[in-house]
A and B are shown apart, each in its own frame.
Chain A
Amino acid sequence: MFPRPIEQTAPATQLLYKIAVPVALLLWLLPLLGVAITSVRPASDLAQGNYFGVPSRLAFENYRDVFVNSPMAAYMLNSFKVTIPTVIGAVALSCMTGFALAVYQFRSNLLVFFMFVAGNFVPFPILMVPVRDLTLQLGMYNTWYGLALFHVAFQTGFCTLFMRNFIKALPFELIEAARVEGVSEVKIFWHVVLPLMRPAIAALSVLIFTFIWNDFFWATVLSNSPASQPITAGLSSLNGQWIAQWHLVSAGSILAAVPPVAMFFLMQRHFIAGLTLGAVK
C-alpha cells in the first residue's frame, strides 16, 4: 500500500494525522460552508456587517423567501423535466450502441466507436449556432424536450464509450453459448446481456443525472424564459436581480445543489464506479 499505512507509524504521527484530515477538510470546504451559513443568516445581520460571526438566529425564512419571491419552484421542476428523460433516453440508446460495438466485429466498428468518443470531447460552441437554429425550426425552443433531445444525443457519445467498455469486459462465452442454442441476436441483447448491465446502467444514470442537472451552457442557449429555464440558468439570472442580497443568492445556490448532492450520497458507489471507469486497468 502506498503511502505507508498510518497505523505503522509512531502514535504521535497517527494523532497528528487524525487532526490534520478534518482540518484540511474544513479549509477545503470553507467557501461552501460560508455560503451554507449565509443562507440561514437573517438579512438584518448582513445589513449590520455581521458577515462571519455567529448568525443572530437561524433564518430559515430565507429559503421560503426564495420560493415566494422567485420562480425557483418552476426552475427546479424544469430541471427535473429535462434531466429525467435525458437519463432514460441516453442510457437506453447507449445500451444498444454499446452492445453493437462490443459484441459484433464489423469493418467500421472502431471508426464508429471513435466517432462517438471524439464527438463527446467537442467544445460546445461549435454546435451552438446550428443546434439552436434546428431547435428553433422544430418549434422546440423554450421547451424541456428541446433541451432533452439535444442532451440525449450528446450524452450518447460518452455513454456509448462507457457501455461498450463494460460489455467488452463481460464473459463472451455467454453470448456464444446462446447463439449455439439458436437464440436470436435481439433476444441475446434483451435476455442475456441487458440483465448483466444493471451496475453500468445504475452508474451511468447517476452520472448523467448530475451532468445534465448541472448543465448551464445549453440551458442558456436553448431557453430564455422562466417558464422553461432549468435551475442553473434561473439561478444565474436571479443572481443579476438579487444584487447584494447574498442570503437569498446563498439559499438559492444551496437549493440548486441539493438534488445532485443527494443523488451522489445515495448512489455513491455507483457514482464513483462510473466516474473512474478506465482509471484502473
Chain B
Amino acid sequence: MSVSVWKANQRRLAPWLFLAPGLLMFAIYVIIPICQSMWISFFDWDGLGEKQWIGTANYVELVDDDAFYTSLKNNVIWLVLYMLSVPAGLMIAIFLNQTITGMRLYKSLFFFPFVISQVVVGLIFSWFYAPGFGLLYNLIELVTGTGVAVLADDRYVTYGIIAAGLWPQIAYVMILYLTGLNNVSPDQVEAARLDGAKGWKMLWHVVLPQLRPATFIAVVVTVIGALRSFDLVSVMTDGGPYGSSRVLSFYMYEQALSEYGYRMGYGAAIAVVLFAIMMVFISGFIWKMWRDETER
C-alpha cells in the first residue's frame, strides 16, 4: 500500500524528501534564531536566569548610547570604503589580464590574501602598523619625521583596519573580474577597436557592460564582507582605543558576551538593527535575482 502511494506520487513527494534534512537544519540554526533574536531584544536577560520583559527599553537605551552611534558610524565608513575594492580589483584584473610566461602563478599569488584567515590578516597588519618597528610606521617616519601609531590613534584606527580588510577583498574582486574578462567577447572588442574605441571609452562602453554579472557578485560579496567586519576589529584593536574602532557586530558581541557582563537582550537589540540594515541590501539582491529567474 505505502509503496504504491509512493509510486503514484513520487514526483510530488520527492522534492520535499530531498529538501527535508537541509531545510530542517537551516530552520533550526538560521530561520528560528532570527525570530528568537528579535524576541529576546525585548527582554532583560543575562543568558542564565529568568528573562524579564522590558518592552522596547533596549531600543530606547540604544537611541542615547554614544557607543552605538560610534559603531554605526564606523559601519557606514566600512561600507563606503569597502566599495573601493570593486574598482581596485578591476584595475588589478585588467593589469594582469595578459599571457606572459608565469602569469598563472602571478595571478594565484595576487589572490593569496583572500585564502588566509582574517585573523592572520589582522595579525599581519598589526605587525605592519606596529609603532617603533612596523614597516608602515617606519615609512611614515622616514617621510614626515614622526611615525604614526595607526592602531592607537582614534583618528586613524578605523581606516587602518579597513585597509587591512581591503587587502583580501580586492583579491577576491580581482579574481571575479579576471574570470569575467576571460569571457568578454573578443569579436565585440575587435569590432569596437576598428571603430576607434580604446582605453577608458572601450572599458566603459564595451567591456564593463559585459562584466555586469561579475560586478553584481563583486558588489554583493563586498557589502557582506563590510558588514561582517568582526574578525579584524577583534584581532587588531579589540574595539579600541576607547571603543573608537567598534563596529555593530563587535559592539553586539561585547555587550552580549564580554567581561562587562552578559546583556543578551541589549546585544540582541543591536543585532536587530544590524540585521535591518543588511535586510535592505538582501532585499535588493534577492529582487534582482528574482527578476533574472522569472525572466527566463
Is B217 in contact with chain A by the CB < 8 A criterion?
yes
Q: In the bound complex, what is the Cα–Cα distance between A25 and B130 (angstroms)?
A: 23
Q: Of B103, B128, B179, B198, which one neighbours A31 at CB under 8 angstroms?
A: B128
Q: Of B11, B21, B29, B278, which one neighbours A185 at CB under 8 angstroms?
A: B11
Check B116–A99 contact: CB distance below 8 A: no
Is A73 in contact with chain B by the CB < 8 A criterion?
no
Is B289 in contact with chain A by the CB < 8 A criterion?
yes
Q: Of B18, B100, B119, which one neighbours A235 at CB under 8 angstroms?
A: B119
A-B contact count (CB 8 A): 297
Nearest B residue (CB) for A278: B217
Known: A126-B37, A130-B37. A265 touches B108 (CB 8 A): yes
Is B213 in contact with chain A by the CB < 8 A criterion?
yes
Most chain B CB inside 10 Å of its own CB: which residue of A31, A100, A124, A153: A31
Q: Of A117, A128, A189, A216, which one neighbours B118 at CB under 8 angstroms?
A: A216
Check A96–B272 contact: CB distance below 8 A: no
Nearest B residue (CB) for A184: B10
Check A216–B119 contact: CB distance below 8 A: yes
Check A118–B26 contact: CB distance below 8 A: no
Check B286–A126 contact: CB distance below 8 A: no
Check A25–B40 contact: CB distance below 8 A: no
Nearest B residue (CB) for A46: B133
Q: Of B106, B123, B179, B206, which one neighbours A35 at CB under 8 angstroms?
A: B123
Check A256–B23 contact: CB distance below 8 A: no
Is B68 in contact with chain A by the CB < 8 A criterion?
no
Check A127–B120 contact: CB distance below 8 A: no
Check B110–A149 contact: CB distance below 8 A: no
Q: For the side of the interface on B, what is the size category?
A: 35 or more
Q: In the bound complex, what is the Cα–Cα distance between A216 and B116 (angstroms)?
A: 12
* Chain A residues with CB below 8 A from B31, complex form: 115, 119
From A63-71, A195-203, A245-253, the one touching the partner chain is A245-253
Q: Nearest Cβ distance between residue A14 and chain B, in whole angstroms?
A: 8
Nearest A residue (CB) for B12: A106
Q: Nearest Cβ distance between residue A111 and chain B, in whole angstroms?
A: 10
Q: Nearest Cβ distance between residue A183 and chain B, in whole angstroms?
A: 11
Is A24 in contact with chain B by the CB < 8 A criterion?
yes
Known: A2-B94, A117-B286, A126-B274. A32 touches B124 (CB 8 A): yes
Q: In the bound complex, what is the Cα–Cα distance between A24 and B107 (angstroms)?
A: 11
Nearest A residue (CB) for B31: A119
Nearest A residue (CB) for B216: A278
Most chain A CB inside 10 Å of its own CB: which residue of B14, B40, B272: B14
Is A268 in contact with chain B by the CB < 8 A criterion?
yes
Q: Nearest Cβ distance between residue A89 and chain B, in whole angstroms?
A: 8
Nearest B residue (CB) for A188: B14
Check A126–B115 contact: CB distance below 8 A: no
Known: A21-B100, A49-B133, A126-B274. A31 touches B124 (CB 8 A): yes
Check B25–A156 contact: CB distance below 8 A: yes
* Chain A residues with CB below 8 A from B12, complex form: 106
Known: A104-B14, A117-B289, A126-B271. A131 touches B116 (CB 8 A): no
Query: Can you name 11 A-B residue pairings with CB atoms under 8 Å?
Result: A31-B127, A96-B22, A106-B15, A123-B227, A129-B37, A129-B40, A129-B271, A232-B231, A246-B130, A276-B176, A279-B177
